[in-house]
Amino acid sequence: MTTKSRLSNFVFILLGAASVGLVVAVLALTGVLDRTERVVTAAPRPATATVAQTPAAAGSVADIYSKTQSAVAYVDAGQGSGSGFLIDGQGHVVTNDHVVEAGSSYKVRFGEDGSALDAKLIGKDPSTDLAVLQVDPSKVPAETKPLTLASSGELRPGDEAIAIGSPFGLSGTVTTGIISALDREIESPNGFPISGVLQTDAAINPGNSGGPLLDADGRVIGVNSQIASSSRQSSGVGFAIAVDTVKQVVPQLIKGGDIERAYLGVSSIAQPGESGAVVAAISPQGPAAGTDLQPGDKITQIGDTAVKTPSDLSTAVLESKPGERVTLKVDRNGQQRTIDVTLGQRPDQIQQQG
């Protein structure tokens, strides 16, 4: 798995932060699920406070937690569990695709003491690792208000980040940190890259999957999804799907429409010290296979968009439409070329590269 800033000199294991039947779900760099993590047979209950509580300072993490935790849900998927959060007044709950994939029937429990509510799957999108469940809105506790969505485009490295979820089944757990980096790229459950991802050092562990990453105002800036670790536990390198992606995908899932994405059929890598996306492989069934594009070509522009990194290429393709004809500017052994490609529609699973 690649990010825009290559994580070299370490062997990282990428974990989906969902708990699978109390067995930690581990997504290796190849995207293969490793179920060999230790089994947690009984999670400890949170200790009951015995000291007097003092009011939280306005704007503090404690204040943000008290205002938002009731909308954060523990999601039971039967064979696994994760987290989620209420997004509107119709009972829609956002979570991860890899959380709902852990089962076929679902229950949602808001806050630490809420009742388990039956939920139905409204839609899921493996390409962005997002899914939407729905509970009967009349059964949502009156004090549970939908979380407010911010804009991930306004974020800066160093901004505060607050994660709330159910790591190892411990619902209502809050951790804090900062936005460590922006515009990372991780691998989705169906093998395609997810671009624009947020990196955070707020502790994220199995069971945090699908829970919200909040800003200093308690607004959602991302959906916690994966961690990178060499020890199968939080190492301070976590990844959240950016809220701008959530705002684009979730309304389509709620409407029940199919999400159609443009597809070039090219995997690319960065060349250290140089700008551009170097073609690593071309899918034999993809749109680029019928053109003059070759492995080793460095794509420097697509349409009017400059390509400085592989993520730039992925983003530009996703911002296009299936059937759209685009022009690639390519550097091949120092010679400049232009190649026209008619974009296709992305398949459900990544195709084997030739």
Catalytic residue among 70, 98, 229, 314: 98
Active-site residue flag, 129:
yes
Q: Is 336 exposed, middle or buried (0-12, 13-18, 19+ CB in 10 A)?
A: exposed
Is residue 63 flagged as an active site residue? no
DSSP annotation of 115 reads P
**Residue appearing with tokens 């070039």:** 264
- State the catalytic residue, choosing from 76, 97, 125, 129: 129
Distance CA 62, CA 70 (A): 13
CA dist., res. 112 & res. 72, Å (int)? 9
SS3 197: strand
β-pairing, 81-86 vs 305-306, is unpaired
Clarify whether 234 is annotated catalytic. Answer: no
Please tell me which residue in 19, 127, 171, 209 is annotated as part of the active site.
209
The two tokens of residue 120 are 């139905």
Helix, strand, coil percentages, rounded to 5, for the chain: 15, 35, 50
Gyration radius of the chain over CA positions: 21
Any idea which residues carry the catalytic annotation? 98, 129, 209
